[in-house]
Structure 1
Amino acid sequence: MRWLLGAITLLAIGITFQLGLLVYAMYVLLGVMLVSRLLAHDWIENVEVTRECSRVSAEIGDKVAVIVHFRNRGRLPIPWLLVEDSVPSAALLQKPPRIALSGRRTAIFQLGSRGTHALRYQVTFKGRGYFQLGPTLFESGDLFGLHRRFRVATHPNYVLVFPRIVPIPGYDLASRRPVGEIRLTHRLFEDPSRIAGVREYRRGDALNRIDWKSTARTGVLHSKVFEPSCVAGVTVLLDFHESSYPPVGEPYRSDLAVTTALSLANAVYELGQQTGLVTNGRDAADRIRTEGMRNEFRTRSLAMKAVKLNEANDRLRPVIVETRRGESTLYRIRESLARLELTTGLTLAELVQESSSHFPRDATIAAVLAGISMETAVVLGSLRQQGWAVSAVLIMPDEISDRPAIGQLIANHIPVRTITSEADIANLSSEPWMR
């Protein structure tokens, strides 16, 4: 625009003072600027871009191949094209990085008439998450540098990387009590391995209920009374509030919490029990659907900012997978945990208040916590007093600051285990829980 205004000003001066050479030069300059502008617009609009992504889901350590194809649909050759396929910069800059790149995702090249070019690179995923690959930004312009145009092309591809599942071999398959015992509110059936006492024989009692020792001692038939208890699965209550995860231990601590939660759910699923998930974390896919993407930008810097994911992380709606049996439920839990992000929304106390209706009475509440305050201990103790079976798994607890709250949990008869590494997950049931 400044070049155009300058040329028009000089042209007006030349005409006013009848400076023929200056007028001729300005006419030539204005012609060059007009032709350059038209060519730059034509070149940028005639570029067709498509992206191929080899996978939409992956495990940690997998590689995904990305190919970006460029095609010139116009008859005129494009002298230069600067392209960049965007990837999540936060995942690259994180220590340790969550993704690694091999190959080139940026390049500058020429495109002949009806010509094509391909950009190839690979992404290695080193951590779980929901990763955005793309869109593609490309820029072109005239040979004089007077006009430069850019576009944001192609829809992004999203790759879901699942967290690890650590097998927990310590569960007693015979007793089918993987996490904790629950006293049912309604007497659905009795557990013959748990004798609550004896009573006098009643007509209809089965022979295997008769307590022969009491019968021999009293001379009157007595029958055993069993506790109406069973284990009917687990609802994983995962605290993913940002305040519980200091930056010093990130992202290791949050990933360990996710792995622990998924491993617990998987172990219960393998026993044929129901499992579910309730967490105050943020679903990355939900965030992307809510925010969307703009396609028109006035500057390249604004375009670069727009293709990056928004880092705002307040969330007031919990992520819930209803506690049910079946492989589909476990898969939904695994998907939700893969996309889960830290939030500054609901605290654990608010989460329990918001979602307590989703806690079935016949399932243990397994709270996975990265730090425990007295408020959290009181909330879990309140659940215990209301009749729910509650267990707690602490992820890398601070022995000094968390000790009073842990004592409060134990006082409420809530079993507690601590996890400091993935190796500890496999031993969740091999040792007694603190009580």
Structure 2
Amino acid sequence: MKDPTSLAESNSPEDMSGVFTVVAVCAGILILGMIAGAGLWMMAAVTVALVVGAGAFVSAQWSVHVVAQREDLPGEGRDLEVLIGSRVPVCVAVTNNGRLPVAWVLAEDLLPRAAGGESMQHDDSVARVRMPPLSVDGARLAVMTLWPGQTKHLRYVVHCRRRGYFQIGPTVLETGDPVGMFRRYRLGTRPMFVTVLPRIELISTYEIGSRRPIGEIRIRANVMPDPTRLRGIRQWQTGDPMRSVHWAATARTGTLHTKIYEPSSVIGATIIVDMHVSTNPDHNEPIRTDLSVVAAVSIAAALHDAGEPFGLATNGRDAADRVRTEGFLGDHRIGDHFEVRDAAGKAAVMLAKNDRLRPVMIDVDRGPLHLKEMTRTLARLERTDGLTLPDFLIETESRLSSETTLLVILQQAPEETVAALVNLSRRGWAIAVVINTLNIDDYTRLAAPLLAENIHVSHLLNQDSIRDVCREQMMR
């Protein structure tokens, strides 16, 4: 496959029309000179032709021999991972590898319009939330003059304000002849991708396992006995409490026997985050979606600290997968070639297959590496118009762990969602719901049908309420 940078080089329509105009004028001058026998006209025509030819040659040579390279990149196939508030220095080296000096070259490192903006100071907290997720300190564009073998640098700093998966670049090189008749554009460097990890609220007392001694959830791990569910009897062993002695069997056999109960409590959690666009409206973005992600990763971190298992299931979409299928963003100067889009697959770790209806799932496990993977996935999570939450629960029920609490974080709960959660609860699943909304009336309306079915519901009001949500889960 050809190098995408070579395919990106092109002439603009204005350049081609200018060339045709110059050629037509030169041809007219030559014809007039031949008819009138004017040598001066002929000389002028030849001079113009030489200027046009030299301009085309020089612009082509400059475009071919000026190259760019992005410095201080992470390892091959890896994304740069930073925390919210971090400053990422960006450096692009532009070098003239040719034998001719380059009079001018314009180097611009692109930044998607939705992600970037100029650095601004706001005192209003709402204004800070609505600011672009990335701000730039320094110039992303520079005009350079390069001697043969000379290298100049384009340096600026990106301030990461919100979690997400962001594209920095690609670098576009623009040059042309000194007269301005020809313009050449080239893709100098592929973009780099930055994963901004969400902030983790430390919750040292969080415990997702139920502390109720009586319940209806049967699991394979004997976490806590339920005295209302007798499973059998066995001979008494040292350490068995006297209240569990089966006196009828003891009297019949003459040997102490103790009762065996079914377990009633579950440990750990499978965190389910609803990211469908219909239940995550635009007027709440990005505040509420980011709050759901922060709550999910904070609960996962607390479970990790407690040594309990945790997993993730969501109907959202991994932004890295989107970049792999749709390609990185450019502009009109570098074209829309498939080869250019395919270059994104070499710039980040991508999934082998893509289907926007395929849920993002991380199996239940323990350990710091598992927490890191879950944090990275939540950082890249985006809304999608694929599976709704009820369809998602039906699709993934066989893959969800029945030995953990299903902790569902959502903004809205339509009738179909309530019916799906109630159905799971009646069939023996341990369900807990966190409603992410600012309006107390909306919370009351959404929580009522769930509370009527004995499903525990918590109110996620803002980031400060994450600890309160966890305390409620611990006491349930």
Q: Under TM normalisation by the shorter chain, which class is it?
A: 0.7 to 0.9
Instruction: Name the residue aligned to 1:235.
Output: 270
User: What letter matches 2:391 in structure 1?
Assistant: E
1:431 Cα offset (Å):
3.6
Distance 1:343 1:154, change over 3 A: same
Q: Quote how far apart the aligned CAs of 1:34 are.
A: 0.8
Match of 1:158 in 2: 193
Secondary structure of the 1:118 match is strand
- The counterpart of 1:328, out of the listed 369, 376, 391, is 369
Gaps of 5+ in 2: 1-18, 75-79, 118-128, 345-353
- Asked whether the equivalents of residues 65 and 96 of structure 2 are also in contact (C-alpha less than 8 Å), the reply is yes
Kindly provide the amino acid, as one letter, of the partner of residue 40 in structure 1: S
Q: Give the superposition deviation at 1:115.
A: 1.5
1:213–1:182: structure 2 CA closer, same or farther, 3 Å change rule?
A: closer
Q: Distance in 1 between matches of 2:231 and 2:83?
A: 56
| Residue 104 in structure 1 maps to residue 139 in structure 2 | yes
Question: Structure 1 residue aligned with 2:399, among 358, 376, 399?
Answer: 358
CA shift, 1:30, in A, is 1.4
Map 1:9-24; keep pairs closer than 5 Å.
9-11=27-29, 13-14=31-32, 17-20=35-38, 21-24=40-43
Residue 39 (str. 1) matches residue 71 (str. 2) = no
Q: Partner residue of 1:376?
A: 417
Q: What amino acid is the match of 1:352? A: L
Paired with 1:432 and 1:74, the residues of 2 have a C-alpha distance of: 67
Work out the CA distance in 2 between the residues paired with 1:181 and 1:77.
83
Count of equivalent residues? 424
Match of 2:433 in 1: 392
- Farther-moved stretch of structure 1 (86-95 vs 257-266): 86-95
Q: Which structure would you say has the larger RCO, counting Cα contacts within 8 Å and 6 or more residues apart?
A: 2
Q: Which residue of 2 aligns with 1:196?
A: 228
Contact preservation (8 Å) 1:189, 1:228: yes
- Taking only the aligned residue pairs, the percentage that are identical comes to 34
Contact 2:203 2:298 survives alignment (8 Å):
yes
| Structure 1 residue 152 displacement after superposition | 1.0
Aligned match of 2:327: 292
Which position in structure 2 is the counterpart of 1:339?
380
Residue identity opposite 1:287 in structure 2: R
* Aligned-partner SS, 2:116: helix
Contact 1:198-1:223 at 8 Å conserved across structures: no
**Contact 2:93–2:152 (CA under 8 A) maintained in structure 1:** yes
* 1:124-273 correspondence to structure 2 within 5 Å: 124-171=159-206, 177=210, 183-186=216-219, 188-189=221-222, 191=224, 195-196=227-228, 203-204=235-236, 208-211=240-243, 223=258, 226-273=261-308
- Give the secondary structure class of the aligned counterpart of 1:211: helix
Look up the equivalent residue of 2:24 and give its one-letter code.
G
Q: TM-score, normalised by structure 2?
A: 0.80
CA gap 1:196/1:181 in 2 versus in 1, 3 angstroms: closer
Measure how far apart 1:347 and its partner are.
1.0
| Corresponding residue SS for 1:110 | strand
Structure 1 length normalisation: TM-score?
0.87
Task: Give the conservation status (yes or no) of the 8 Å contact 2:273–2:313.
Answer: yes
The equivalent position to 1:315 in structure 2, one of 356, 374, 377, is: 356
Contact 1:190 1:229 in 2 (8 A): yes
Deviates more, 1:114-123 or 1:16-25: 16-25
SS in 2 for 1:158: strand
**Partners of 1:165 and 1:119 in 2: CA distance:** 34
Distance 1:200 1:228 in 2: 12
CA displacement 1:317-367 (0-9 Å, x = unmatched): 111111122222211111111111111111111211221122111111000
- Please list, as runs of the form range in 1=range in 2, the aligned pairs for 1:268-279 lying within 5 A after superposition: 268-279=303-314
